[in-house]
Structure 1
Amino acid sequence: MTRHFLRDDDVTPAEQAEILQLALELKKDRFAEKPLAGPQTVAVIFDKSSTRTRVSFAVGIADLGGTPLIISTANSQLGGKETPSDTARVLERMVAAIVWRTYGQAGLTEMAEGTTVPVINALSDDFHPCQLLADLLTITEKRGHLAGLTLTFLGDGACNMAQSYLLAGATAGMHVRIASPAGYTPSEQVVADAAAIAAQTGGSVALFTDPVAAVSGSDVVVTDTWVSMGKEEEKAARVAELGAYRVDSELMAHAASDALFMHCLPADRGYEVTAEVIDGPQSIIWDEAENRLHAQKALMVWLLAQNAR
């Protein structure tokens, strides 16, 4: 059966650790693996604008000996005349893998069900699993381990980043806290899935409304934009409702003294995070951004090896 990476719990705890270890090795020796030599082509499809995802996948595919084929759905049949499954059946005859940055998770699921090459979720409305691999890699570099660490996400708990933190953090054996107001809580099913994983890994998941209580003693503090793509018209309401969850130096003071600050970027400075935090000594956002390259390369190497068996 073809292995895909559509959400964070598509890999087991042992598999997640294996991918992260491979990412560490590839960061030390960037051109050590060439599974796409030929060169083979990887289709990288964008429904949404992108900086880090586009660059990291294009560079990573080239590093692995392949050729990235960047496709905009605005200039293709996908999402118009053709279904995801039909597109996948065409692409699988020409490419080694498919990467898709899109809106609905259902389209990714349909595409994966219709193809024999691995499909990678480069972002959907529900999850951002490639970003989480990069984030876990960055934390591992800074702390040497993941299990037992407490990570707090503040802001829109229903966003893709919060939901991926629940699943990926639980898989890594972390204690994941989500702090958000009513109406911005994660999916009940995602929380239940993460709790079930945490019960096996020794981690935990918890939901908070009080940002200070959530951050207290945390090893890692994370936030994300309050206004995701497609929700620009909601900005005024979101700023009013999420303002108490802004990460500033006063809030960071409640975390562990050596707590790390993370943000997947782009950041709306002055809204979800202040400049003094994002540019401060606890911030590791630039390492986090670079690690998209190394984590995604490791993921592609791992998936291609799994599907070659």
Structure 2
Amino acid sequence: MAVSANLDFLEFHDLSAGAIAAILDRAGALGQAWRERRMPKSLEGRRIALIVDDGGWRNTTAFDLGIQAMGGICTHVPASLGGREAIADLAGYLDNWFDMIVIRTPDLAALRELAANARAPVINARTRSNHPCETLGDLAYVDSKRGGIEGLKIVGVAPDANILRSWVEASISLPIEVVQVYPDVWHVNDPALLNPNFRLSTDMRELEDADVIFTDSWPGGAPEGEVADYRISAEVLDRCRQDAIFIPCPPVARGQEVTAEAMTHPACRSTAAKAFLLHAQNALMEWIAARPELNASR
């Protein structure tokens, strides 16, 4: 079990600022290699389990594609952390065959239990509590455009949910400022996430000097009148910095958290940013595969 202790990526701040910087830098290089169709075979011989226990398609498809492009063996495992097998037993069975486990599953606590019992490093491909790979991909895109991330002001117009929480996790370990702008009732109040680089606001003027703006879906069952003032429109984006990067989180509900016009505004980089999900995840897997402590165990 000790092998995976420092190599799991369950929450964004599991990795140090230095490790994240290296991964972001490498994501840019792998993005260029992808475009030139000359991907390195840095996962050659690695056997990676891909478990999709909670729907979705973007990042799990990117994991599958990236593993193959870098020479690894990807196997879709039809397992569940909520199934009949005890999680500790499942971890042992997976360790028999795999060098790494990528899993998208609802419950972060169950994912932690899997990681605690597995020797193979575990990557969180999304839970209902957080989505660290999504944030890693967005940061890789921003890094490629800005040449770094230090000192960025990142504003999330979003409720307390998995997208926002992963940005808050990132603020724990990275030199960035994250601001949640939303009505008080949906503010993050988890003591484990509160830190000096994260603050709360209800003021949409926070967007005007932001480097990066992101959104998430409206909270389920929320009356439109309570959240309509937090809808991102082209007019809102016109008041922001000319070099601001707007990344609405898919699936985007036009007419709810964003307007249709906001999606065609020059600041909106959703498609370009999400391309980096592949490159960042590839860089993460490559970084894990290259760690001496993992190779010593093989």
Show the counterpart of 2:198.
Answer: 205
In the alignment, the residues of structure 1 paired with residue 122 and residue 181 of structure 2 have an alpha-carbon distance, to the nearest angstrom, of 31
| RMSD of aligned alpha carbons | 1.8
**1:55 lines up with 2:61 in the alignment:** yes
SS at match of 1:93: helix
In the alignment, the residues of structure 2 paired with residue 14 and residue 183 of structure 1 have an alpha-carbon distance, to the nearest angstrom, of 35
In the alignment, the residues of structure 1 paired with residue 153 and residue 198 of structure 2 have an alpha-carbon distance, to the nearest angstrom, of 10
**Following TM superposition, by how much is the alpha carbon of 1:166 offset from its aligned partner in structure 2, in angstroms?**
1.5
**1:308 lines up with 2:295 in the alignment:** yes
Query: Tell me, which stretches of 5 or more residues in structure 1 are unaligned?
Result: 196-203, 228-233
State whether residues 28 and 279 of structure 2, in contact with CA within 8 Å, keep that contact through their aligned partners in structure 1.
yes
Aligned partner (choices 19, 27, 30) of residue 31 of structure 2: 27
What is the TM-score when the length of structure 2 is the normalising length? Answer: 0.90
**Following TM superposition, by how much is the alpha carbon of 1:298 offset from its aligned partner in structure 2, in angstroms?**
0.5
Q: Tell me: CA distance 1:27–1:107, structure 2 relative to 1, closer, same or farther (3 Å).
A: same
State whether residues 217 and 254 of structure 1, in contact with CA within 8 Å, keep that contact through their aligned partners in structure 2.
no
Q: Aligned residues: percent identity?
A: 32
Show the counterpart of 2:97.
Answer: 94
In the alignment, the residues of structure 2 paired with residue 221 and residue 51 of structure 1 have an alpha-carbon distance, to the nearest angstrom, of 24
Letter in 2 for 1:172: L
**1:6 lines up with 2:10 in the alignment:** yes
Alignment size in residue pairs = 287
Deviations along 1:154-211, whole A, 9 cap, x unmatched? 021x11111111221453311211112122111432432x43xxxxxxxx3210012x
Show the counterpart of 2:157.
Answer: 154
Show the counterpart of 2:134.
Answer: 131
In the alignment, the residues of structure 2 paired with residue 141 and residue 287 of structure 1 have an alpha-carbon distance, to the nearest angstrom, of 11
Which range is displaced more, 170-179 or 123-132? 170-179
In the alignment, the residues of structure 2 paired with residue 67 and residue 175 of structure 1 have an alpha-carbon distance, to the nearest angstrom, of 38
Letter in 1 for 2:176: M
Q: Tell me: CA distance 1:46–1:146, structure 2 relative to 1, closer, same or farther (3 Å).
A: same
Show the counterpart of 2:217.
Answer: 225
State whether residues 262 and 288 of structure 1, in contact with CA within 8 Å, keep that contact through their aligned partners in structure 2.
yes
Q: Tell me: CA distance 1:257–1:303, structure 2 relative to 1, closer, same or farther (3 Å).
A: same
Q: Tell me: CA distance 1:246–1:77, structure 2 relative to 1, closer, same or farther (3 Å).
A: closer
SS at match of 1:44: strand
**1:285 lines up with 2:292 in the alignment:** no
SS at match of 1:122: strand
Show the counterpart of 2:87.
Answer: 84
Letter in 1 for 2:9: F
**Following TM superposition, by how much is the alpha carbon of 1:22 offset from its aligned partner in structure 2, in angstroms?**
1.3
Aligned partner (choices 40, 58, 65) of residue 71 of structure 2: 65
Q: Tell me: CA distance 1:15–1:80, structure 2 relative to 1, closer, same or farther (3 Å).
A: same
State whether residues 6 and 109 of structure 1, in contact with CA within 8 Å, keep that contact through their aligned partners in structure 2.
yes
Aligned partner (choices 40, 43, 62) of residue 49 of structure 2: 43
State whether residues 155 and 246 of structure 1, in contact with CA within 8 Å, keep that contact through their aligned partners in structure 2.
no
Q: Tell me: CA distance 1:19–1:77, structure 2 relative to 1, closer, same or farther (3 Å).
A: closer
State whether residues 8 and 129 of structure 1, in contact with CA within 8 Å, keep that contact through their aligned partners in structure 2.
yes
Letter in 2 for 1:17: A
Aligned partner (choices 181, 184, 188) of residue 182 of structure 1: 184
SS at match of 2:193: helix
State whether residues 261 and 278 of structure 1, in contact with CA within 8 Å, keep that contact through their aligned partners in structure 2.
no
